[in-house]
Amino acid sequence: MNPKLFWLKLSPPQILTLGFAALIGIGTMLLMLPVATTSREPLGAIDALFTATSAVCLTGLVVVDTATTYSTFGELVIMLLIQISGLGFMTMATLFALMFKRRISFKDRLVLQEAMNQTSVEGIVRLIRRVIIYTFVIEAVCATLFSIRWAFDMPAGQAVYFGIFHAISLFNNAGFDLFGQFHSFTGYVSDPLINIVSIFLIVSGGLGFVVLSDLIDFRQKRKLSLHSKVVLSMSGALILVGAVVIMVFEFTNPRTLGALDGGGKTLAALLQSVTPRTAGVNTIDITGMRQATQFFIVILMFIGASPGSTGGGIKTTTFTVMIGAVVAMMRGRQDIVLFHYRLAQERILKALTIALLAVLLVLTVAMILSTTEDGHFLEILFEATSAFGTVGLSMGLTPHLTAFGKVLICFTMFAGRLGLLTLVYALGPNKNKELYRYPEGKMIIG
């Protein structure tokens, strides 16, 4: 079949699904090359697939230690996969098209609309230009700050390399790190610069490019869209509540916050509240947390970041709509109203569908893993939720997964990165408009 005709026959969700799958396949083959490992021995196919999937899905879960297993070539492959996936392969294609002054077709705009989770194609190319600029500027500035700080701990060349790698990893909410032995950022638990820059990168990547664009234009327009208001208010609330809950639960725990001073406690609690949304780095030991804190982090990971961002989860807007539905029902109101705007029924049904599908996926994966893996149920639920939310936090189960468990987690990461509705639309039949409606029925609820 003519490739052009094949492209035209595919729907935007199918194009995105095939694109991410192809990127994972290329990454897997590159990571299986002998030059990609420090031992110069080819990595196993499943381990290479897991790492490539984790990088493309911006998760950060690993079955082998990144710093000690992969050579500089392997680390560069991982970094490139993170950057391409974070921007989106269609965004990268658009970048090259703009550079060579090629026309962006309407089909390309439809795919970009699906990739950026937008409601229309209007202004989509202008948004893509901003996405590219925002990404490289934020990453460059934060990479410079990281490099300056780490120049005090390591050679200058290595400090620059670490700065670039971790700026890309954190802004894209990927969670990969190069500190070795699965230690993540625990060596910098009380370092103000590392913590503040890390929080800024994670939050910036998790808010979404539409919100960043709105914030930059605020000085001129003097107003924010409803989407930006919901994202900013819910993100702020989750970060604040998360930090307070973690501080309360872990304040006296000697394995986490108990051994730190006041400033260290505050920085650690704040970062650990931000990182489940969905960055995957940590400055305190996840396995040393109390079970209540671990379960609370599961909730944060399930909610995730915001639409159009580099994060996963059901998204802050979905969570807000669900809360709005509960409040509206308790008050006896027919409509969900946010910031003096009424939400359409279609948006409400979409939010409920996403949330229900996510619950079913996480619970199904957790139940299956509980029969194939050796671990406590909370560890398994934590791992399954981390994979779906593309977070990357782990209670230590991932390196010990069976081959089947690794493949199942790969699928969960892929579904979480792509989006459940996008995956359903890609695998299911085309949506056709109904030509009739059934009579309304009544049933007892509750």
pLDDT digit string (tens) for 26-71?
999 999 999 999 999 999 999 999 999 999 998 989 999 999 999 9
Average pLDDT over residues 101-110: 59
Q: What is the pLDDT of residue 1?
A: 52
Average pLDDT over residues 1-27: 74
Q: Per-residue pLDDT tens for 402-413?
A: 999 999 999 999
Q: Structural domain boundaries of the chain?
A: 12-427
Q: What is the Cα–Cα distance from 294 to 183, expressed in whole angstroms?
A: 18
Question: Which residue has 């304040």 as its token pair?
Answer: 251
Q: Per-residue pLDDT tens for 134-186?
A: 888 999 999 999 999 999 999 999 999 999 999 999 998 888 999 987 888 98
Q: What is the pLDDT of residue 431?
A: 57
Q: How confident is the model at residue 213 (pLDDT cuts 50, 70, 90)?
A: confident
Within 10 angstroms of residue 180's Cβ, the number of other Cβ atoms is 12
Q: What is the pLDDT of residue 118?
A: 59
> pLDDT at residue 308 above 80?
no
Whether residue 278 has a cis bond before it, omega within 30° of 0: yes
Long-range contacts of 133-142 (CB under 8 A, 24+ apart): 134/209, 134/212, 134/213, 134/216, 135/86, 135/87, 135/171, 138/171, 138/201, 138/204, 139/164, 139/167, 139/168, 139/171, 139/201, 140/167, 142/167, 142/170, 142/171, 142/197, 142/200, 142/201
Three state DSSP letters for the chain: CCHHHHHHHCCHHHHHHHHHHHHHHHHHHHHCCHHHECCCCCCCHHHHHHHHHHHHCCCCCCCCCHHHHECHHHHHHHHHHHHHHHHCHHHHHHHHHHHCCCCCCHHHHHHHHHHCCCCCCCCHHHHHHHHHHHHHHHHHHHHHHHHHHHCCCCCHHHHHHHHHHHHHHHHCCCCCCCCCCCCCCHHHCCCHHHHHHHHHHHHHHHHCHHHHHHHHHHHHHCCCCHHHHHHHHHHHHHHHHHHHHHHHHHCCCCCCCCCCCHHHHHHHHHHHHHHHHCCCCCCCCCCCCCHHHHHHHHHHHHHCCCCCCCCCCCCHHHHHHHHHHHHHHHCCCCCCEECCEECCHHHHHHHHHHHHHHHHHHHHHHHHHHHHCCCCHHHHHHHHHHHHCCCCCCCCCHHHCCHHHHHHHHHHHHHHHHCHHHHHHHHCCCCCCCCCCCCCCCCCCC
> pLDDT at residue 311 above 60?
yes
Q: Per-residue pLDDT tens for 114-126?
A: 555 555 666 666 7
What predicted TM-score, i.e. pTM, was given to this entire model?
Answer: 0.89
Which residues lie closer than 8 Å to 180 by C-beta, 6 or more apart? 65, 66, 67, 68
- Max Cα separation, the chain? 73
Which residues lie closer than 8 Å to 221 by C-beta, 6 or more apart? none
Q: How confident is the model at residue 361 (pLDDT cuts 50, 70, 90)?
A: very high
Q: How confident is the model at residue 284 (pLDDT cuts 50, 70, 90)?
A: very high
Average pLDDT over residues 281-292: 92
Q: What is the pLDDT of residue 86?
A: 83
Instruction: Locate 141 and state its tokens.
Output: 């500035």
Average pLDDT over residues 212-229: 84
CB of 280 within 8 A of CB of 59?
Answer: yes
- Higher-scoring residue by pLDDT: 29, 279: 29
Lowest mean pLDDT of 116-120, 195-199, 231-235, name the range.
116-120
> pLDDT at residue 351 above 80?
yes
Which residues lie closer than 8 Å to 297 by C-beta, 6 or more apart? 272, 276, 286, 289, 382, 393
Q: What is the Cα–Cα distance from 144 to 149, expressed in whole angstroms?
A: 9
Within 10 angstroms of residue 211's Cβ, the number of other Cβ atoms is 24
How high is the mean pLDDT of the chain? 86
> pLDDT at residue 293 above 60?
yes
Q: What is the pLDDT of residue 421?
A: 74
Q: What is the pLDDT of residue 309?
A: 79
Q: How confident is the model at residue 430 (pLDDT cuts 50, 70, 90)?
A: low
Q: What is the pLDDT of residue 101?
A: 56
Q: What is the pLDDT of residue 111?
A: 60
> pLDDT at residue 445 above 70?
no
Average pLDDT over residues 91-102: 56
CB of 198 within 8 A of CB of 271?
Answer: yes
Q: What is the Cα–Cα distance from 271 to 325, expressed in whole angstroms?
A: 30
Rounded to 5 degrees, φ, ψ at 434 are -70, 135
| Cα–Cα distances in angstroms (integers) from residue 411 to residues 267, 327, 408, in the given order | 34, 35, 5
Q: What is the pLDDT of residue 91?
A: 63
Q: What is the pLDDT of residue 134?
A: 85
Lowest mean pLDDT of 213-217, 339-343, 374-378, name the range.
213-217
